[in-house]
């Protein structure tokens, strides 16, 4: 029997804990987490804040009692202060009392922290990140205040776009300020992201692209956002610039990736044989790049936790790598992607081409029908698919899973061209948009 200490209990930590408790009950598991709650589904924040769901209750899928019932020794509102890796000792503070515990195996699931720009006015009231459940509660409460009429969202990634929709649904004047020239540029090519820009503009969201925030102004409470191009009223500022790995507990001992994440192998093991790292604090292997990278997604976190749990339990399994599959739905417009977009492929030094197609989802005689667009990105020499993007008001999300598998298996564009795809008017056209995109390749 081994003693396993798990630091951090959100998605990755929970997956690791459940794997150990369910499959390897002979191990002693101690869980340390500094929060008051477990398993908050942050991806549902905008739905709750935007009043698209009734409450936040179902955004939690487990609790402390579930782990106690399985035999875990779990400590909430407990802050780990340091780790002595030589003596395998974790030092922590609980209820104001300094304590320590030993371990045979250690799992770091410390997640990520929001990127906080060094701007004048960051300490003003009304300036918020959206990471924890408590952050969401504060933003929700402010949106209920009559004096909050103008909301500025800084950053047009997934969280920024979703929170802009949520605030607009609450009847606020909403403005997005983003340094790039379009939204969602880390995931989608402009052919797609400009469509989402129009969706937001049509709903009254102001888009200020190519702008950098220089300061936040106000007398105790934020009242204006100043950029390099203008000044905008704001009683609420939501910062959604991105996240960085939380490596405070191991940065001086463990090998780090170039962005500060713990460098792990396919077993989730760090440079210390007794230490595993999972979730947003750790690296991941990209099948599109064929190399280690960093992709902070909840789905990746869960898979990494499962892998670590089995390896610690004694079953040596390897991660299959990831593609970074993701999706977003704003005002009913759905966009999904996997692998690399053109900008990411170029940054990685890949010589790629792309093929695309746009048409109605179903035959023209079908009443319920929407336009659909698709782009497939592939390496010119090997012909292997390295990325795909699909968008429509129809739910086309399941199609991206096929491309995720294609990237993982190094499927070529020619294999996609001859893929057996069924036809039925209720679902698609005789010449499916996936087939047509693949057949339309000119390089």
Query: First CA to last CA across the chain, in angstroms?
Result: 58
List the structure tokens of 92.
């922590």
Q: Which residues pair with 338 in a beta bridge?
A: 388
CA 57/CA 378 separation, integer angstroms: 43
Active-site hit among 11, 75, 128, 310? 11
Catalytic, 253? Answer no
As separate numbers, helices (DSSP H) first and strands (DSSP E) second, the chain gives 11, 25
Decide: 245 and 261 in contact? Cβ < 8 Å. Answer: yes
Q: Which residues pair with 44 in a beta bridge?
A: none
Instruction: Find the Cα–Cα–Cα–Cα dihedral 37, 42, 48, 52, rounded to 10°.
Output: -140
SS3 state at 99: strand
List the structure tokens of 299.
């789905």
Q: What is the pLDDT along the chain (443 residues), one digit of tens a residue?
A: 799 999 999 999 999 999 999 999 999 999 999 999 988 988 899 999 999 998 888 889 899 999 999 999 999 999 999 999 999 999 999 999 999 999 999 999 999 999 999 999 999 999 999 988 899 999 999 999 999 999 999 999 999 999 999 999 999 999 999 999 999 999 999 999 999 999 999 999 999 999 999 999 999 999 999 999 999 999 999 999 999 999 999 999 999 999 999 999 999 999 999 999 999 999 999 999 999 999 999 999 999 999 999 999 999 999 999 999 999 999 999 999 999 999 999 999 999 999 999 999 999 999 999 999 999 999 999 999 999 999 999 999 999 999 999 999 999 999 999 999 999 999 999 999 999 999 999 98
Decide: 11 and 298 in contact? Cβ < 8 Å. Answer: yes
Distances in whole angstroms, Cα of residue 360 to Cα of each of 217, 375, 421, 440: 48, 15, 17, 16
Assessment of whether the complete model's pTM goes beyond 0.85: yes
Q: Which residues pair with 221 in a beta bridge?
A: 125
CA 302/CA 279 separation, integer angstroms: 7
CA 384/CA 49 separation, integer angstroms: 41
Q: Which residues pair with 184 in a beta bridge?
A: none
Catalytic, 11? Answer yes
Distances in whole angstroms, Cα of residue 406 to Cα of each of 293, 303, 323: 19, 19, 10
- What is the CA 352 to chain-centroid distance, rounded? 25
CA 243/CA 111 separation, integer angstroms: 9
List the structure tokens of 181.
């020239």
CA 161/CA 197 separation, integer angstroms: 10
Give the full edge-to-edge strand order of the sheet including 352-360: 326-330, 333-339, 385-392, 371-379, 352-360
Active-site hit among 23, 43, 253, 267? 43
Q: Which residues pair with 30 in a beta bridge?
A: 5, 73
DSSP summary character for residue 245: E
Decide: 354 and 342 in contact? Cβ < 8 Å. Answer: yes
């Amino acid at each position: 029997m081994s003693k396993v200490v798990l630091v951090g209990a959100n998605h990755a930590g929970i997956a690791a804990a459940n794997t150990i408790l369910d499959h390897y009950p002979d191990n002693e598991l101690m869980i340390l987490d500094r929060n008051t709650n477990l398993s908050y589904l942050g991806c549902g924040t905008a739905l709750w804040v935007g009043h698209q769901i009734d409450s936040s209750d179902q955004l939690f899928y487990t609790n402390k009692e579930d782990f106690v019932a399985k035999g875990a020794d779990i400590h909430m509102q407990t802050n780990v202060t340091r780790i002595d890796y030589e003596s395998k000792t974790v030092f922590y503070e609980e209820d104001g009392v300094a304590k320590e515990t030993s371990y045979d195996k250690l799992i770091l699931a410390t997640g990520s922290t929001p990127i906080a720009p060094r701007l004048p006015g960051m300490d003003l009231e009304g300036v918020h990140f959206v990471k924890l459940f408590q952050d969401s509660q504060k933003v929700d409460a402010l949106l209920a205040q009559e004096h909050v009429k103008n909301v500025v969202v800084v950053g047009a990634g997934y969280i920024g776009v979703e929170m802009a929709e949520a605030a607009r649904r609450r009847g606020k004047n909403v403005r997005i300020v983003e340094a790039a020239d379009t939204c969602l540029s880390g995931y989608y090519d402009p052919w797609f992201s400009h469509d989402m820009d129009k969706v937001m503009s049509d709903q009254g969201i102001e888009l200020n692209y190519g702008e950098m925030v220089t300061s936040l102004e106000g007398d105790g409470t934020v009242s204006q956002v100043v950029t390099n191009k203008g000044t905008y009223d704001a009683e609420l500022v939501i910062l959604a610039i991105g996240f960085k790995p939380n490596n405070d507990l191991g940065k001086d001992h463990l090998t780090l990736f170039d962005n500060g994440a713990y460098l792990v192998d396919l077993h989730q093991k760090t440079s210390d044989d007794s230490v595993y790292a999972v979730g947003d604090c750790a690296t991941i292997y990209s099948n599109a790049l064929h190399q280690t990278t960093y992709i902070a997604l909840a789905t990746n976190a869960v898979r990494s936790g499962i892998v670590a749990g089995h390896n610690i339990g004694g079953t040596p399994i390897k991660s299959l790598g990831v593609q970074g599959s993701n999706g977003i739905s704003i005002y009913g417009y759905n966009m999904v992607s996997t692998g690399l977009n053109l900008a990411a492929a170029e940054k990685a030094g890949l010589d790629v081409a792309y093929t695309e197609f746009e048409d109605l989802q179903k035959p023209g005689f079908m009443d319920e029908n929407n336009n659909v667009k698709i782009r497939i990105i592939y390496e010119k020499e090997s012909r292997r698919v390295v990325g795909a993007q699909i968008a429509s008001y129809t739910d086309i999300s399941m199609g991206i899973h096929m491309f995720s598998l294609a990237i993982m298996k190094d499927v070529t564009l020619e294999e996609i061209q001859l893929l057996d795809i069924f036809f039925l008017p209720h679902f698609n056209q005789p010449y499916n948009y996936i087939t047509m995109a693949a057949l339309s390749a000119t390089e």
